[in-house]
Structure 1
Amino acid sequence: MNTPVADRHPIWVLTVLSALMAFASVSTDLYLPAMPVMGRDLRAGAGAMEWTISAYLVGFSLGQLLWGPVGDRVGRRLPIALGLVIFTVGSAGCALATSTHALIAARVVQAVGACSSVVLARAMVRDLYAGAAAARMLSTLMTVMAVAPLLGPTLGGQVLTVGTWRVIFWTLVAVGVATLVAVASLPETLPKARRRTEPLSSALREYRRLLADPRFRAYAGASGLFYGGIYAYVAGTPFAYIAYYGVSPQHYGILFAAGIVGIMATNLLNARWVGRFGADTLMRWGAAGAAAAGIASVAVVGLFPHMLWPLATTLFLFVASTGFIVANAIAGALNTAPEHAGSVSALIGAIQYGSGIAGSALVGLCADGTSLPLAAVVSLMGIGSLWFAYSQGDAVDTLEVLGDQG
């Protein structure tokens, strides 16, 4: 009997799955340092350029609702391959864009393709591994997802020292092609006997049922609005730091990387503390910290409008709250319907990125050349996350009690 590819070449499988999981962050983080330069080249303001992030989130949020059910019905490799082709075409469109409208349209195409890799890579892990092995693989992949945005802005800043912003998108074209070749070496992890046969409309019915569940709404709202703040940070900091405070693109990458280090640190603390304090308690602590950091951001912008470090410090604390909010909220949401984990994962992901659309779009709409819109949107989203974490307390507390009894 042939040994599965995953068993014979675990490092190679991990490498390819890691690349697939990293598409969400690499596709955006790599060009963050170039946004001010792109705006000048395309004769667009900060608000218009921030819409390129919102457009990406639209495609990514809606696309994953489709790719998940499709992957359950036709297998994993074909949809991933198709998504990578779409991603590569979208990246080339970004590199060739001569206007912000063309760039925004290409970003939507790029996102629809990229999200297939992220959604179905998680499914492939579930197909290939079980029990402790699956947990180890997923933990490793989550670490890679944290490292990708750590490196992205730094690499993007370095590309700008040797080429134009268009080179960044041609680099993504090369990444798409290389990953497509690598995916061809992976096995099809979902055999025909395990594929679902009911129509795609059944997935829509399940989504409606989940949205009617107050427990799911509590977790989705807490993590979703926090994501809105995170993507306000992603969209707003290039202009706040580089254009307003005069930070170089290379140093911006370092500031951005500090936030990712904070995320990794709180993830480690969360893993240590979750057994002691409980997931819901840590989620609420994280939401409280995010709200406090957001409010503090508005305060320091008002008190020290021309000083970078007070704002950078409060935004660091906001971003670091990720480790206490996101993982615990997703785990809680999955517990609301464990028999439909795929639908839960897709829907909460869509809500998170959909909230990211709102956060990044608000920063763009309110852009006035200062850092105040960024701080205000981050504060608003942090307060909203806190509201869901606590106002829906009865629902999540009931769930935690039921989980303890189980």
Structure 2
Amino acid sequence: MDAVSTPLPASHSPSTPQRRQAGARLTLTLASLAMIGPFTIDTIFPAFTRIGAEFGGDEVALQQLISAYLAAFAVMSIFHGPLSDALGRKTVMIGGLVIYLIGMFGCVLAPNLESLILLRVLQGMSAGAATIVSRVVIRDMFSGSEAQRLMARVMMIFSVAPAIAPILGGWLLLLGDWRWVFAGVGMYGVVVLILTTRLPETLPPEERSPMRIRSLLASLVHVGRSPMMLRIAGASAFGFAAQFVFIAGASPLVVRLLGLGEQDFWVLFVPLIIGMISGAWLVGRAANLMDRSRLISLGFIGAVLAALVNLGLVSLAPEYGGGLSWSLLLAVVGPGLIAFAVALVFAPIQLEVLDLFPHQRGAAASLGTFFGLVLNALLAGAVAPLVTTNLTVLALCSLSFAALGGALWVWHVRAVRRSMGV
């Protein structure tokens, strides 16, 4: 994959003062905001069995606790960014967190599975205000290599969440029924809300767009009509799906395919976190050494190769019989390698999206996230139950997503080269 830099508009930076370096408190706060998503999704996996037993829900019905959240997140993600362009970043993040906490603590009192799914919808509608807008804050405050380094550091800390969330969920179940899981995540949300109130506002009033429905929709249409935006967002969505398919199918994968228990989700998630942290660390180190577009290309090449390795490993593994064994190791090494390669793509490609529309970063962040969220919702609600029939089918699905993401990125790079006459 040849790499070229994406050209930016002539006026490419708002007048918000740029800082030279991010401090530890800012980094931890932004990472905590980003971790809302994985904590909300992954912590409840160990509780699926008990929720199903109490409410009489089967595996497909329980998967809707994930897909309903992701679908609502996807729909509302279109609006969080433009709202932050009009109202300011901090106002939207705090408002979203308050609504999110109402939904989370409401789950503790849910009388049936239907109401639990509706409260998950409320969480999904509000959680993006924190996670999506926090990425825009990074680009508001920093540019160039420092923006990539901070995005990579946030990614490194964020990577811990998918691994510790199901472990935390299993521990919370030791205290009582599944309601303890939602209460525990709610307490985390309270801490994040307090940290967010201490963030600076990064979009001055004079740089905000008018708070009118027509203006908000116009900015979304302007961003959404860009072929560059569509190609990059599609590449990002499919590339991340190569890893997320293992997370979306974690419950049937760990419990049914690997024959493990409620406290054993670490077997899958620890390799994933090691891969994600290692890849994010390398992205930060490469900030001043490699062109951003070239790094993304290498990440997609690595994702396809890692998915091929994963397919080979699970094909060679003997029939799995439960417990710690050689076949279990072969089943989880591949997802870790895929996570490493996807991490090389994630932070740089987010900055590519934000730099396409520097005066409409909120709208760009929203639409850039929307494609990935729609795909993730489909993965959790429809695809994961179908592809977790055995490890080989799951591996083929991951490989397909990696190849699709890489193909869209190649298309984008070649289109840019043609537009530049190269």
Which shows bigger deviation, 229-238 or 117-126?
117-126
- Residue among 34, 55, 60 paired with 1:21: 34
Deviates more, 1:253-262 or 1:270-279: 270-279
- 2:304–2:399 CA contact under 8 A, matched in 1: no
Task: State how far apart, in whole Å, the 1-side matches of 2:348 and 2:192 are.
Answer: 31
**For residues 138 and 319 of structure 1, what CA distance do their matches in structure 2 show?**
16
Q: CA 1:334–1:298 in structure 2 vs 1: closer, same or farther (change >3 Å)?
A: farther
Correspondent of 1:221 among 234, 237, 261 = 234
What residue number does 1:353 align with?
373
Q: Residue by residue, what CA displacement relative to the aligned partner does 1:310-363 show, whole Å, maximum 9, x if unpaired?
A: 322222222332123323433443454445433222211111111111222233
| Counterpart-to-counterpart distance in 2, 1:345 and 1:117 | 12
- Per-residue deviation, residues 222-280 of structure 1 (Å, max 9, x unmatched): 22113333332112122221233222333312430221111121233344557457234
Does structure 2 conserve the Cα–Cα contact (< 8 Å) formed by 1:218 and 1:388? yes
Q: Residue 380 in 1 paired to residue 393 in 2?
A: no
SS at match of 2:249: helix
Deviations 1:75-98 (A, max 9, x none): 233322221121111112322234
Partner of 1:70: 83
1:314 to 317, 331, 334: 334
CA displacement 1:98-154 (0-9 Å, x = unmatched): 433222211111122211111232344445556776565444323221222232222
1:196-211 counterparts in 2 under 5 A?
A: 196-197=209-210, 199-211=212-224
Question: 2:174 & 2:382 partners in 1: Cα distance?
Answer: 31
Counterpart amino acid of 1:330?
A: Q
Q: Does 1:343 align with 2:363?
A: yes
Question: Does structure 1 residue 42 correspond to structure 2 residue 58?
Answer: no
Q: Aligned to 1:177, which of 190, 193, 204? A: 190
Paired amino acid for 1:236: G
Which letter maps to 1:241? Answer: V
Partner of 1:286: 302
Contact in 2 for aligned 1:237/1:374 (Cα 8 Å) = no
Distance 2:248 2:105 in 1: 22
1:11 Cα offset (Å): 4.8
- Structure 1 Cα separation of the partners of residues 339 and 233 of structure 2: 18
Determine if contact 2:36/2:189 at 8 Å carries over to the other structure.
Answer: no
Q: Secondary structure at the match of 1:366?
A: helix
The verdict on how the C-alpha distance between 1:280 and 1:252 changes in structure 2, with shifts beyond 3 A counting, is closer
What letter is aligned with 2:333?
Answer: T
Deviates more, 1:26-35 or 1:372-381: 372-381
Distance 2:410 2:201 in 1: 43
Deviates more, 1:330-339 or 1:85-94: 330-339
Aligned to 1:152: 165
Partner amino acid, structure 2, of 1:324? L
Determine if the alignment matches structure 1 residue 256 to structure 2 residue 272: no
Greater CA drift, 162-171 or 139-148: 139-148
Please say which of residues 206-215 and 220-229 is displaced more in the overlay. Answer: 206-215
2:212 match: secondary structure: coil
Report whether the alignment pairs 1:119 with 2:128. Answer: no
In structure 2, runs of 5+ residues without a counterpart are 1-16, 322-326
Identify, as 1 or 2, the structure richer in helix. 1
| Match in the other structure for 1:394 | 414
Contact 1:218 1:389 (C-alpha < 8 Å) held by counterparts: yes
Q: Deviations over 1:358-381 (max 9, x none)?
A: 222233552776556644533432
Distance 2:98 2:59 in 1: 30
Decide whether the 8 Å contact of 1:72 with 1:195 is kept in 2: yes
Q: Which digits, 9 at most, give the CA deviation of each residue in 1:152-187, with x for residues without a partner?
A: 222222222232221010112222333334434444
TM normalised by structure 2 equals 0.80
Please state how far the C-alpha of 1:209 moved relative to its aligned partner: 4.1
Would the aligned equivalents of 1:362 and 1:377 in 2 still touch at CA under 8 Å? no
Deviation of 1:36 (Å): 3.0
Aligned identity (percent) is 25
Give the Cα–Cα distance (whole angstroms) in 1 for the partners of residues 290 and 205 of structure 2: 42
Amino acid at match of 2:375: S
Cα 1:200–1:227 change in 2 (3 A) is farther
Question: Relative to 1, partners in 2 of residues 1:120 and 1:280: Cα closer, same or farther, differing over 3 Å?
Answer: closer
Give 5+ residue unaligned stretches, structure 1. none
**Contact 1:63/1:112 (<8 A) preserved:** yes
Letter in 2 for 1:80: M
1: CA distance, partners of 2:218 / 2:229: 15
Alpha-carbon distance between aligned partners in 1 of 2:206 and 2:117, rounded to the nearest angstrom: 41
SS of 1:248 mapped into structure 2: coil
Distance 2:307 2:27 in 1: 36
CA gap 1:97/1:335 in 2 versus in 1, 3 angstroms: same
Q: Which residue of 1 aligns with 2:67?
A: 54
Separation in 1, partners of 2:418, 2:331: 38
Question: TM-score scaled by structure 1?
Answer: 0.83
Change (3 A) 1:255 1:162: same
Structure 1 Cα separation of the partners of residues 150 and 396 of structure 2:
38
Q: Distance in 1 between matches of 2:91 and 2:226?
A: 33
Shift of 1:63: 1.8
